[in-house]
């Protein structure tokens, strides 16, 4: 009986970790026969876990939605992560879940073992949350996006652009990222055949989701670097292309991911840089401690001439 119970817990953990499993996959993981898996699935159903079964070659098992929320099985690290996530959500940027997050956190902390309560308390006492002025995202919208990412289902939604215009999009979602007080969706635009970034607070999902898709290689440099490049460039007020007298590898090591570096030859490269102000852009380039030339921004070149005059007067006085 003890062996069966332990196996049921392991089976439940596998079903909660991934949306779909075939019978042979589960049998291999648990080192039992597919017949035993079928019996264990029936036991889980008897305990109130809604396990769906699909026949056929591509069929298998998945944990479905039931009339009531069944118990979840969390390991130590997952329990700590959930507790900290609920604390953050209680005062975060997801609209409408502050109160429910507090209630869920109270239930979780009540059943946490002493060793985990101490870890959560230590993490909470050592961290501070800085409240930002970013837009809030509806919790259902964020859940719908995250679910499509997890299940690799095409996400169909209406998107409101920064100018207020609305477009209909069809995206193969990759990741949801929280950065600069905003939530972003990074995914493959089916119509444009390219990677795109979307602010989650401007997404209005359509149901049901579209077809399932095969995973793609992430954008060059990874999701976070891609998002930093795209979001950084979009937020800059001033842009300039700079020819830097330094190898591309050396320049790339000194600049943030939002700055695009393109090699020209072994000794020079081009920077696609920008900033909110011309003053900050000049300061930033000066800190690179390398000779450079302005390629395509007369406005920035004029600002540099003004600085040259100011600095010359300072040393000639």
More confident residue, 226 or 62: 62
Per-residue confidence band for 129, with pLDDT thresholds at 50, 70 and 90? low
Query: Based on the number of CB atoms within 10 Å of its own CB, is 1 exposed (0-12), middle (13-18) or buried (19 or more)?
Result: exposed
Q: Average pLDDT in the 13-30 region?
A: 87
More confident residue, 204 or 118: 204
Whether residue 165 contacts residue 77, with contact meaning beta carbons closer than 8 Å, is answered with no
HEC profile for 216-241? CCCCCCCHHHHHHHHHHHHHCCEEEE
pLDDT one-digit tens code per residue, 2-21: 577 888 888 888 888 777 89
Classify strands 260-263 and 238-244 as parallel, antiparallel or unpaired: unpaired
More confident residue, 264 or 233: 264
Can you tell me whether residue 155 is helix, strand or coil? strand
Cα–Cα distance measured from residue 129 to residue 120, given in angstroms and rounded to the nearest whole number: 15
**Alpha helix (H) ranges present in the chain?**
2-17, 23-30, 34-46, 76-89, 98-111, 114-126, 139-151, 223-235, 248-252, 278-287, 298-316
More confident residue, 153 or 116: 153
Q: Is the pLDDT of residue 84 over 70?
A: yes
Cα–Cα distance measured from residue 313 to residue 233, given in angstroms and rounded to the nearest whole number: 34
Closest CA to 56 of 16, 23, 33: 23
Cα–Cα distance measured from residue 31 to residue 24, given in angstroms and rounded to the nearest whole number: 10
DSSP 255-278: S-TTSEEEE-SSS-EEEEEEESSH
What pLDDT is attached to residue 93?
66
What pLDDT is attached to residue 258?
66
pLDDT one-digit tens code per residue, 254-307: 887 667 788 999 999 998 888 878 998 899 898 888 999 999 889 999 999 999
């Amino acid at each position: 009986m003890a062996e069966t119970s332990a196996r049921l817990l392991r089976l439940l953990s596998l079903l909660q970790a991934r949306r779909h499993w075939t019978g042979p996959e589960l049998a291999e993981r648990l080192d039992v026969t597919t017949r035993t898996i079928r019996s264990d699935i029936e036991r889980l159903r008897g305990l109130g876990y809604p396990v769906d079964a699909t026949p056929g070659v591509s069929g298998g098992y998945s944990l479905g939605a039931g009339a009531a929320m069944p118990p979840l099985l969390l390991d130590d690290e997952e329990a700590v992560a959930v507790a900290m996530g609920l604390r953050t959500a209680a005062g975060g940027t997801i609209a409408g879940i502050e109160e429910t997050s507090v209630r869920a956190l109270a239930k979780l902390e009540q059943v946490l073992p002493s060793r985990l309560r101490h870890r959560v308390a230590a993490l909470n006492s050592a961290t501070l949350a800085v409240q930002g002025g970013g837009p809030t995202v509806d919790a259902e919208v964020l859940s719908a996006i995250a679910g499509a990412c997890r299940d690799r289902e095409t996400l169909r939604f209406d998107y409101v652009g920064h100018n207020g215009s609305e477009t209909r999009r069809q995206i193969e979602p990759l990741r949801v990222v929280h950065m600069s007080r905003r939530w972003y969706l990074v995914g493959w635009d089916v119509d444009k055949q390219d990677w795109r970034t979307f602010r989650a607070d401007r997404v209005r999902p359509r149901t049901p989701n579209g077809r399932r898709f095969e995973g793609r290689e992430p954008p060059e440099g990874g999701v976070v670097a891609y998002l930093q490049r795209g979001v950084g460039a979009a937020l800059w007020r001033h842009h300039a292309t700079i020819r830097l007298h330094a190898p591309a590898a050396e320049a790339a090591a000194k600049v943030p991911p939002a700055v695009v570096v393109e090699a020209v030859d072994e000794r020079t490269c081009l920077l696609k840089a920008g900033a909110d102000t011309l003053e900050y852009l000049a300061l930033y380039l000066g800190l690179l401690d390398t000779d450079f030339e302005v390629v395509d921004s007369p406005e920035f070149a004029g600002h540099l001439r003004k600085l040259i005059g100011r600095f010359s007067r300072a040393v000639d006085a």
